[in-house]
Amino acid sequence: MIGENLLGPEPTLLPEDTAVTAALQNETPADVVRAHPSSPLAWAELADAARAEGREVDAYAYARVGYHRGLDSLRKAGWRGTGPIPWSHEGNRGVLRCLYALREAAALIGETPEVERLTEFLNSSDPKAITELEQR
């Protein structure tokens, strides 16, 4: 408890995206995005697929859209630009995956300031997030 800011904002906990999770089991990421365009999780999957295919610029663009959809979701849930977004909460993982996907794609295209900014954002959201995402 020492060093923890007890007066800081409460963690933001987004609802789980069960429809998207189910759709991703049977459909392509592009089809899931078409059906659920506001889902950060769907955009994260699409960005990951593009990166795996070596389409770095596409991965960056998809992750950027997911990042903005994620910010919309966070703000709708009461987030005001700061505070924890814990990886341990399943509903937050789509947003955090978009942040990570954008960070990785930014690194691939040489956008170092963006990588640094997103690293800071992820670390301030949940210090364990990057490690968890790298282990996926």
Model pLDDT for residues 10-48, shown as the tens digit of each residue: 999 999 999 999 999 999 999 999 999 999 999 999 999
Burial pattern 39-69, b for ≥16 Cβ within 10 A else e, equals bbbbbbbbbbbbbeeeebebbbbbbbbbbeb
| Structure token digits, residue 7 | 């007066």
- pLDDT per residue over 86-118, tens digit each? 999 999 999 999 999 999 999 999 999 999 999
Backbone angles phi, psi at 79, to 5 degrees: -65, 135
